[in-house]
Structure 1
Amino acid sequence: MQCAQAVEVGLQFSDLQAHFQPIVNLHQSAIIGYESLIRGPSEHPLAMPRELFAYAERIGQSNELEIACRRAALQSYARFTHEGLLFINANPNTLYDPSFPRGMTIREAELAGFPPSQIVIELSEQFPLNNINKLKNVITQYRKQGFKIALDDLGSAYAGLTIWAELMPDFVKIDRYFIQEIHLSPIKREFVRSIITTARALGAEVIAEGIETEFELRELQRLGVTLAQGYFIGYPAPTLQLQVSQRVHQVIDSFRQARKDIIAALVEQVPTVSPDMPSLKVLDYFINNKEIMSLPVIEHGNVLGGVRREQLLETFSSSFGRSLYGNKPIGKLMETNPLVVDCHTPLELVSELVTEDSAVEVHRQILVTENGIYQGIVSVRSILKTITDLRLQSARHANPLTLLPGNVPIHQEIESYLQSYPSFYVAYFDLNNFKPYNDYYGYGNGDRVLQWLGQILSQLAQVDNIFVGHVGGDDFVALFTEKHPWREFCEQVIHLFDNGVADFYHDNDRLAGGIQAQDRNGDMQFFCLLGLAIGVVNIDSATCVSHQDVAALASAAKALAKTKSTSTVHLLS
C-alpha cells in the first residue's frame, strides 16, 4: 500500500523532484546543458528512479509517470535563467504508445517558456525496444517540432549501432561501462575511439557520461571527446551548477597546455555547407556574416573542398553572375584542393606546409581532420602567431648549445605529464667517458659531440612528437606517454650514436678503440670510445607529486645504466 501511495503522489507530481547534472564542453571549459534526473518522494522506498519506474510499469502507469516527470523537469528548469540544453529522459516504448498524449511535451515546453530547440529527448537503450519502426516515426515528429534527440547508454545493448543508424540522433551518450577506468583499458579506449569516429561521420556529438576520476577525464580528452558528464564533473542537484568546478577547469586547462604545440589546440568551429547547397544561399550567408572568411564543403564528415568569401563575391560581381551561378550547387564553384592537415600535426610542420605552398596566403584558412573526418578550421595567421609566441618562449629557456628546451621547460613539461597522464616513461641520457674525452680533445670538440647527440634526439623525437630536453652538460631527457615506443626510440638513439661517434676521434684513437687519458685521480687510464647510458623509469603519477620526485627516479635509473661499459638501456624496476 505504501508503494501505491508513493506512485500516486508521484503521478500528482507534487512530490517529484528534478535534479540537474551538468554537461561540460571540454574545448570551451563551459557548461552547455543539464540532464534532468527525477527523484521520487524523499525517504521512501521509491525515492530512486529505478524503483519508481519499475513499480509504475508493474501497475501499468508508465505513461502517467512519464508525463509527470517531463512536467517536473520543465517546470523546475524554468525557475532558472539558463540558455543551456535540457536533456529529458524518455522511455522509448511510451513514445509510440497510442495512449501517450501527442503534443504533450511541446505544450509543456511552451508553458515553461522554452523553445523546443533547447530540449533534448534522451532515449535509453536500457529499455527493450519493441518496435523500432514506430519509434522512428515518433522521433521524426519530435524533430519536426524542433526537439533534438539523444541516444543514451550506447554500447549497453547489442542493437546499439542499429538503433543509431535508424534514428540518427543529435547526441550519443557512451555507456558508463566503457568510461570507468578507461585509462587502464586499451579495449575501452578503442571502443570509444571508434564511436567518436562514427559520430563525426554521422554528424552526432558524443557525450561521455559516468566520469568519476581525473584520469578518466584526461584519457577522454586525449581521445577527442568534446562533451563530458559524471560525478567528477558535477553531482545531480535540485539547483543548477552554473560554473565548471575549479578542479575540472584545471584538468581541462592543463591538457590544453600539454597540447599547445599541435594544430588541434587552435581549431575553431565555423558553419559547414553541403556540396548541393545553392551558391546564392552561400553568398547570402557571407553577406550576412562578415566575420566569416571561408566555409568548408563537407559531406558525411569528409572534406570535399572550401569556399572563400572573396572568391565567391568575385564570381557573383559580374553582370550575369547571379543568373549564371545563383542556382548552381556550391560543389561546382568550390575550391577542390584546400590545404588539409590532421589535428595531431605539429605546428612547425604545418608552418612548413604553408610556406612551401605559394597559393596559401596569410588570411587563408586550413581545414583540420582527425582520421580523415572534418574537425574544424585554423587560420594561417593564428598558426604563425602561435609559432612565433612558442619560439620566443622556447628561446628564453633553451639550452644555448643544443637549442633544446632547458631546465625550466623540462620541469614544466614533467609537471604537465604528472597532471595529464596516470603513468608515463622518462628516459635520462648520459655519456660514458665524456670527461676524459673533453680533457683529451678539448671542450670545443666535446660541444660538437653534444650538439650532434642533441640533433639525433631532436630528429627522432619529431616522428612521434616526443618531448626531449637538454638538462645541461652531457645530460639529456625524453618523456614518453604509454602509447610512445620508448624502447624502440632509445635503441634507435644508441644505434645512431654508436655508428657515428667514431667520427669524433682521430684515426689512431679510432683504431685503438679509445684513448689514454687521466682519470679523476690523475692516473693514466685507457677509456673506450664514448658510449651512451640511458636510464628509463616508469612514473606513477599517483605517487610522484613533483618534477623533483621524477628527477630522483630518473637519476637512479641512469646510475644503473652507467654501470655498463657499453651503450645500454636500463629500465628501473
Structure 2
Amino acid sequence: MSDSEAQTAGGCSRCRDLPSLPFEFTMAFQPIVDIEQRTVFAYEALVRGLKGEGAFEILSQVTEENRYQFDQACRIKAIELAARLKVTCGLSINFLPNAVYEPKSCIKATLEAAERYHFPCDHIIFEVTESEPVGDPAHLGAIFKEYRAQGFTTAIDDFGAGHAGLNLLADFQPGIIKLDMALIRDIDSNKIRQSIVEGVFHTTRELGIDVIAEGVETVAELGVLQRMGIRLFQGYLFARPAVEQLPEVHYPNSSPTE
C-alpha cells in the first residue's frame, strides 16, 4: 500500500479521494534520553526536506487544503523509518489536532502503518504543541481519549510556551509534558526559571505525568534539572537530529548531587 492510499484507507468521507501532497519530505530523529539509566527513552521524528532542509521549509508548504494529508503522511513516514532503523524504544510523533476530523476514523491509517511495519502501538507517543491554538478544546480531549484507548502515549510539547499553560494540563492529563526550551535556557543562572520549573515538576509528579526537559545544551543546565528530580532530557547536549538515521548519543557527566 502506498502512502497516499494509507492516508485515506478507512477514513471518513471528508478524508477520501484527496489529492497527493504537492511536496515530499522525510524525517530526522533526535533521542530523548533517560539520564539515570543512560539509555534512549524515545526518538522524536522531526520533519525535514529530502536534502536535509529544515522543518520550516516543509511546514511553510502546509495549507488548510493539505493539512490532513500532511499529518497522516508524517505519521506513516515516521513509523516506516523507525521500523527500518530498528527503533526498539519509544517513537515520538507530532500531530496537528486541527487536522483530525474524527479521532476514531483518522487514527486508522496510523494503526494500519504500525501493523504493516510491525511497530508496536504502545511504543508510539503522540505530541501536540501547546503553542498551536486549539479552536475546540473538547475535540482535543476526544483525540487524547481515543489515542490512549488505542494504546498510544500522549504528550504536550513546548509546555510553557503557549497561551493555555496550566489550563491545558488541567483539562487534559497526558502521559508526558515536554518543558519548552525557553524555560530551560540558562536555567542554572536564573532563579525565576528554576522556581517555575520546580513548581511544574511538583505538579506533574502529583498527577503521575512524566516530564521531559527539551533544548538542553549545557552540563550546567542538565545538573540543575537533575537536582530537581528530572531524568528525561532532549537537546544538543546529547545529540543533534540526524536525517533518516539514529544519531550517536553522548551522555555527559553532570553533578546532580551538588
Q: Give the structure-1-normalised TM-score.
A: 0.40
Tell me how far apart the structure 2 counterparts of residues 125 and 158 of structure 1 sit (CA, whole Å). Answer: 8
Partners of 1:72 and 1:65 lie apart in 2 by: 10
Q: Deviations over 1:165-192 (max 9, x none)?
A: 2221000000110000011111100111
Aligned to 1:72: 77
Say whether residues 1:22 and 2:36 are aligned partners. Answer: no
Aligned to 1:400: none
Q: 2:51 and 2:145 mapped to 1: Cα distance?
A: 37
CA 1:23–1:102 in structure 2 vs 1: closer, same or farther (change >3 Å)?
A: closer
Matched with 2:231 is 226
Aligned residues of 2:49 and 2:57 also touching (Cα < 8 A)? no
**Paired position in structure 1 for 2:50:** 41
Equivalent residue of 1:108, what SS? helix
Paired position in structure 2 for 1:8? 22
SS of residue paired to 1:9: coil
Q: CA offset at residue 42 of structure 1?
A: 2.0
Aligned counterpart, 2:62: 56
Contact 1:89-1:122 at 8 Å conserved across structures: yes
Amino acid at match of 2:207: L
The structural deviation recorded for 1:53 is 2.0
Judging changes above 3 Å, is the alpha-carbon distance between structure 1 residues 78 and 173 closer, same or farther for their aligned structure 2 residues? same
Distance 2:170 2:117 in 1: 32
Say whether the 8 Å CA contact 2:219–2:253 is kept in structure 1. Answer: no
Determine the C-alpha separation between the residues in 2 that align with 1:232 and 1:170: 24
C-alpha contact (below 8 Å) 2:27/2:45 kept by paired residues: yes
**Mapped contact 1:92–1:124 kept (Cα < 8 A):** no
Contact 2:131 2:158 in 1 (8 A): yes
- CA shift for structure 1 position 54: 3.2
Q: Is the 8 A contact 1:53 1:65 kept in 2?
A: no
Question: What is the rounded CA distance, in whole Å, between the counterparts of 1:8 and 1:172 in structure 2?
Answer: 33
Instruction: Provide the C-alpha distance between the structure 2 equivalents of 1:172 and 1:72, rounded to a whole number of angstroms.
Output: 24
Q: How does 1:515-534 map to 2 (within 5 A)?
A: none
Deviation at 1:141, TM superposition (A): 1.0
Distance in 2 (CA, whole Å) between partners of 1:31 and 1:102 is 26
Residue of structure 2 aligned with 1:119, choices 117, 124, 128: 124
Q: Secondary structure at the match of 2:215?
A: coil
* Shift of residue 160, structure 1, vs aligned partner: 2.1
Q: Which residue of 2 aligns with 1:173?
A: 178
The alignment status of 1:240 with 2:254, answered yes or no, reads no
**Corresponding residue SS for 1:8:** coil
Deviation sequence 1:502-537 (CA, Å, 0-9, x none): xxxxxxxxxxxxxxxxxxxxxxxxxxxxxxxxxxxx
Aligned pairs for 1:150-189 within 5 A: 150-189=155-194
Considering only CA atoms, is the larger Rg found in Structure 1 or Structure 2? 1
Q: Deviations over 1:361-386 (max 9, x none)?
A: xxxxxxxxxxxxxxxxxxxxxxxxxx
Q: Distance in 2 between matches of 1:51 and 1:38?
A: 10
Could you tell me how far apart the structure 2 residues matched to 1:74 and 1:218 are?
A: 33
Which residues in structure 2 correspond to 1:478-517 (within 5 Å)?
none
Identity %: 34
Cα deviations by residue, 1:10-61 (Å, 9 ceiling, x for unpaired): 2xxxxx2211101111221211111010112327xxx32233223212x521
Q: Secondary structure at the match of 1:113?
A: coil
Q: Helix, strand or coil for the counterpart of 2:40?
A: strand
Query: How far apart, CA to CA, are the structure 2 residues paired with 1:82 and 1:65?
Result: 23
The reply on whether 1:101 has 2:115 as its aligned counterpart is no
* Per-residue deviation, 1:137: 1.1
Cα deviations across residues 438-463 of structure 1 (Å, max 9, x unaligned)?
xxxxxxxxxxxxxxxxxxxxxxxxxx
Contact 1:92 1:123 in 2 (8 A): yes
Cα separation, 1, equivalents of 2:171 and 2:108: 23
CA distance in 2, matches of 1:32, 1:125: 22
Cα distance in 2, alignment partners of residues 125 and 169 from structure 1: 12
Correspondence for 2:196: 191
Indicate yes or no: 2:165 matched with 1:146. Answer: no
AA at the equivalent of 1:23: I
- Higher share of residues assigned helix: 1
Whole-Å Cα distance in 2 between the matches of residues 215 and 73 of structure 1?
32
Structure 2 SS opposite 1:20: strand
Which residue of 2 is the match for residue 250 of structure 1?
A: 253
TM-score in terms of structure 2 length: 0.86
Kept in 1, the 8 Å contact 2:176–2:209? The answer is yes
| Backbone CA RMSD of aligned residues | 2.0
> Which of 138, 160, 170 matches 1:133?
138
1:97 deviation in Å? 5.8
Which ranges of structure 1 fall in alignment gaps of 5 or more residues? Answer: 1-6, 11-15, 260-419, 421-573
- The one of 210, 216, 220 equivalent to 2:221 is 216
Report 1:445-484 matches (<5 A): none
Distance 1:214 1:164, change over 3 A: same
Instruction: Give the aligned partner of residue 9 of structure 2.
Output: none
Contact 2:216 2:237 in 1 (8 A): yes
